[in-house]
Amino acid sequence: MAAKTTTDEIAEDELTPVADETAHSARRVVAAYATDADECRMLLAMLGIAPGETA
């Protein structure tokens, strides 16, 4: 099932950073399912949880 998309834009000030523990868990899941290192890096960057990124 495809995710719903809308044309509404999310304002930068409406975004809140995720907790370090949540980001760490998400990184592990992404790494487990990525087909290779390049895909993993791309997905982490798209999610805004790449190692070294700060909010």
pLDDT in tens, 2-34: 666 665 777 777 778 889 999 999 999 999 999
pLDDT above 80 for 53: no
Report residue 25 as tokens.
């868990």
CA-to-CA distance for 37 and 23, rounded, in angstroms? 18
Q: Does any domain span residue 26? A: yes
Total structural domains in the chain? 1
Q: Does any domain span residue 41? A: yes
CA-to-CA distance for 33 and 28, rounded, in angstroms? 9
Report residue 33 as tokens.
């399912």
Token pair 């868990």 is found at 25
CA-to-CA distance for 44 and 55, rounded, in angstroms? 14
The range of the structural domain enclosing residue 45 comes to 18-55
Residue 46 is predicted with a pLDDT of 93
Q: What distance, in Å, lies between the first and last C-alpha atoms of the chain?
A: 31
Q: Does any domain span residue 36? A: yes
pLDDT band, very low/low/confident/very high, at 1 (cuts 50, 70, 90): low
